[in-house]
Amino acid sequence: MRNTLTTRRAVLAGLGATLAAPAFIRNAKAAEVTLRLHHFLPPVAPMHSKFFVPWAQELMDATNGAIEVQIFPAMQLGGKPPQLADQVKKGIVDIAWALPTYTPGRYPVAETMGLPFMVTNAEKTSVAVHELMDEFGGAEYAGMKPLAFWSHDGGKLHMRDTAVRTSADLQGKKIRSPNSAFGELLTSLGAEPVFFPVTEMVVGLSNGVIDGCCLPYEVVPPFKLQELTKFSCEAAPAARGLYANTNTLLMNERSYEGLSDDLRGAVDAASGIGLSRRIGKTFDEFEAVGRNIVEKNGNEIVEISLEEIAKWDEAAQPVYANWETRLNDAGHDGAAVIARANELLDKGA
């Protein structure tokens, strides 16, 4: 039997111990420009150590030390994850990793890729997100320069005590939902969606506030969620994933425009659709590592059949209709945005 109280204390203590200092990239000479990058996950998270730290070093190397990036994980500079985009826009930080879903309705085109079943794998979906934003979403980030848009792999249902094979297994279960659209689907399937940031997952699972959560595998190891759940339930390989949230790497527009021409060129070369593809590919690698850790922990991996996913997809159609209306209300052609998103996903499949 797992000692969930011990697990919770150990995880929280471990996370707390990682907050001691930001990641400073070693620079042999004084930088002309120092950029502060803020994000919400702890330093043990793969995105911090395997992407942000190397990316910052590459930018320094490409500018011969002229640009230094100081990385502040785990909200070290204050605030909460939903405030990261505003921190960039207001110039509190120069760069931040932000999720549109944390501010529902504010970035509707970007949030479109968070609808149920709008993900293949992370790399291909990241390219689709970037292309969709280029076509429809440019005005959403006024005052900021988007450096990349990306997606993680499709979410899985990680459950404390119940294997989910059909919607019958979801009846009355409290599931942490990754966004409002997936929450609508959960409700239609008989579950009770609960909303809070991923950083509160350990407490929610430990004390039984939730019965499970929907997340990609890559998020599981940093928070040791494999020790708090017994089952991981994933869509059949031939189906699209259950959901994926859009992610953004944003830069303050004044910080960008204040760079010299050659330094702006270096930032441009280190960003854009190529960076989106790279981050997506990196997330696919993280996903494989996370799944392996779940398996090694002895958790059961359950496949939700194609036939069952088809039923869930049918249940999601009102969610799509509601989102089309929201896009229309925001001044977009909702049907065109959703149709184009599906075209881009199919093109990349």
On the question of pLDDT at 22 being above 90, the answer is no
Please tell me which residue, 114 or 25, carries the higher pLDDT value: 114
On the question of pLDDT at 248 being above 70, the answer is yes
With 0.85 as the threshold, say if the pTM is over it.
Answer: yes
Helices (H), 137-194: 180-188
pLDDT category of residue 46 using cuts at 50, 70 and 90: confident
Over residues 125-135, mean pLDDT = 98
* Residues 6+ away with beta carbon under 8 Å from 58: 270
Contact 294, 232 (CB under 8 A): yes
For 295-323, the pLDDT digits (tens) are 999 999 999 999 999 999 999 999 999 99
The pLDDT value recorded for residue 29 is: 64
Q: What is the DSSP string of 187-249?
A: HHTT-EEE---GGGHHHHHHTTS-SEEEE-GGGHHHHTGGGT-SEEEEE-TTSPPS---EEEE
Which domains occur in the chain, in start order? 21-153+245-287 (3.40.190.170), 156-242+299-323 (3.40.190.170)
On the question of pLDDT at 23 being above 90, the answer is no
Q: Which of 243, 215, 214, 197 is nearest to 84 (CA)?
A: 197
Give the Cα separation of 76 and 81 in Å (integer). Answer: 11
On the question of pLDDT at 61 being above 50, the answer is yes
